[in-house]
Chain A
Amino acid sequence: MKQLILKILFILIFGNTLFATSFSECTHLLQKIGMGIDEFSLNRCTKAPNYTQSVKRLVTYSNRYKTALPFLQKYFNLGKSYRALSATDKIKLNKEKGKYRFRLKEWWIESMLSSKAPLKEAMVLFWSNHFTTKIGKIQQPYLLYRQNMLFREYALGNYREFLHKIIQDPAMLIFLDNRVNRKKHPNENFAREILELFTLGVGNYTQKDIVEFSRALSGYGLDRNMTKFKFYRKRHDNGIKNFLGYEGMLNAHQAIDIILQKKAVSVFVVKKLWRYFISDTPYMPEVNRLAKIFRDSNYNISSVVEAIFLSPYFKDKSNSATIVKSPIELIVGTLRTLKYRGYPLKKAVIFSSMMGQNPFNPPNVRGWVGGKEWLNSHTLMARRIFIDQLFLKNSINSIDNSLFLSRGGLNIDKAVKILSPIELKVVPFGNFNKSLKSVLMHPAYQLK
Chain B
Amino acid sequence: MKRRDFLKYAVTLPVLGYTKDIRPKGNSVLVMVELSGGNDGLNTLIPYSEPLYYSLRPSIAIPTKDILKISKSVGLHPSLKEMFDIYNKGELAIVQGLGYPHPILSHFRSIEIWNRAESYNDYFPNGWLSTLRPFGHNIIKGVVTGGSFGPLEGMMDTIMLNSIDRFVSWARVSEGRVYMQSNKPFIDKIISIDRDIQMSAKLLKENRFKNSKPKYPFPKSQIGREFEIVWKIVCGDSGVSYIKVLQGGYDTHINQKPIQKRLLSDLSKSISILRKNLILCRKWSDILVATYSEFGRRVEQNANGGTDHGTANVHFVTGGRVKGGLYGKYPSLKHLDKNGNLIYTTDFRSYYNTIAKDFLHRHSHRVAKFEKLGFIKS
Q: Does chain B have a CB within 8 A of A196? A: yes
Q: Does chain B have a CB within 8 A of A83? A: no
In the bound complex, CA of A373 to CA of B309 (Å): 25
In the bound complex, CA of A177 to CA of B191 (Å): 43
In-complex Cβ contact of B162 among A180, A378, A385, A425 (8 A): A378
B149, A376: Cβ atoms closer than 8 Å: yes
CB-nearest residue of chain B relative to A196?
A: B106
Q: Does chain B have a CB within 8 A of A66? A: no
Q: Does chain A have a CB within 8 A of B161? A: yes
Size band of the interface chain B makes with A? 35 or more
B167, A426: Cβ atoms closer than 8 Å: no
Q: Does chain A have a CB within 8 A of B160? A: yes
In-complex Cβ contact of B8 among A323, A377, A425 (8 A): A425
CB-nearest residue of chain B relative to A354?
A: B162
A441, B177: Cβ atoms closer than 8 Å: yes
A377-B159, A380-B197 known; A202 and B190 CB under 8 Å?
no
B174, A375: Cβ atoms closer than 8 Å: no
Residues of B within 8 A of A384 (CB): 170, 173-174
B167, A188: Cβ atoms closer than 8 Å: no
In the bound complex, CA of A345 to CA of B212 (Å): 34
Q: Mark A160-198, 1 if CB is under 8 A from B, else 0.
A: 000000000000000001001010110111001000100
Q: Mark A313-333, 1 if CB is under 8 A from B, else 0.
A: 000000001111000000000
Q: Report which residue of A324, A365, A373, A384 has the largest number of chain B beta carbons within 10 angstroms of its beta carbon.
A: A384
A381, B186: Cβ atoms closer than 8 Å: no
B161, A447: Cβ atoms closer than 8 Å: no
Q: Does chain B have a CB within 8 A of A364? A: yes
In the bound complex, CA of A273 to CA of B370 (Å): 41
Minimum CB–CB distance from A266 to chain B (whole Å) comes to 21
B189, A377: Cβ atoms closer than 8 Å: no
A446, B308: Cβ atoms closer than 8 Å: no
Residues of B within 8 A of A57 (CB): none
Q: How many residues of A contact B (CB 8 A)?
A: 48
Minimum CB–CB distance from A441 to chain B (whole Å) comes to 7
Considering only residues 431-448 of chain A, those with a C-beta below 8 Å from chain B are 438-439, 441-444, 446-447
A438-B10, A447-B187 known; A188 and B179 CB under 8 Å?
no
Q: Does chain B have a CB within 8 A of A363? A: yes
Q: Does chain A have a CB within 8 A of B369? A: no
A422, B190: Cβ atoms closer than 8 Å: no
Considering only residues 149-176 of chain B, those with a C-beta below 8 Å from chain A are 149, 159-162, 167, 170-171, 173-174
Residues of B within 8 A of A324 (CB): 186
A378, B254: Cβ atoms closer than 8 Å: no
Q: Does chain A have a CB within 8 A of B339? A: yes
In the bound complex, CA of A378 to CA of B169 (Å): 12
CB-nearest residue of chain B relative to A371?
A: B186
B304, A180: Cβ atoms closer than 8 Å: yes
Q: Does chain B have a CB within 8 A of A258? A: no
Q: Mark A418-434, 1 if CB is under 8 A from B, else 0.
A: 00001111110000000
CB-nearest residue of chain B relative to A378?
A: B160
A375, B186: Cβ atoms closer than 8 Å: yes
In the bound complex, CA of A385 to CA of B171 (Å): 9
Minimum CB–CB distance from A10 to chain B (whole Å) comes to 29
Residues of B within 8 A of A188 (CB): 308-309
Residues of A within 8 A of B248 (CB): 363
Residues of B within 8 A of A373 (CB): 148
Minimum CB–CB distance from B78 to chain A (whole Å) comes to 25
A322, B179: Cβ atoms closer than 8 Å: no
9 contacting pairs across A/B (C-beta < 8 A): A192-B309, A321-B186, A324-B186, A364-B251, A377-B167, A425-B6, A444-B182, A444-B184, A446-B186
Q: Hey, which bits of chain A sit against chain B, CB under 8 A? A: 177, 180, 182, 184-185, 187-189, 192, 196, 202, 207, 321-324, 363-366, 369, 372-373, 375-382, 384-385, 388, 422-427, 438-439, 441-444, 446-447
Query: Given A378-B167, A441-B177, 16 other A-B contacts at CB below 8 A?
Result: A185-B303, A187-B253, A187-B302, A366-B107, A366-B108, A376-B160, A380-B190, A380-B193, A381-B170, A384-B174, A385-B173, A424-B6, A426-B10, A438-B10, A443-B186, A447-B184
Sort A-B residue pairs by CB-CB distance and give the 8 closest, nearest first.
Answer: A185-B303, A376-B160, A443-B190, A384-B173, A381-B170, A377-B159, A378-B160, A180-B304
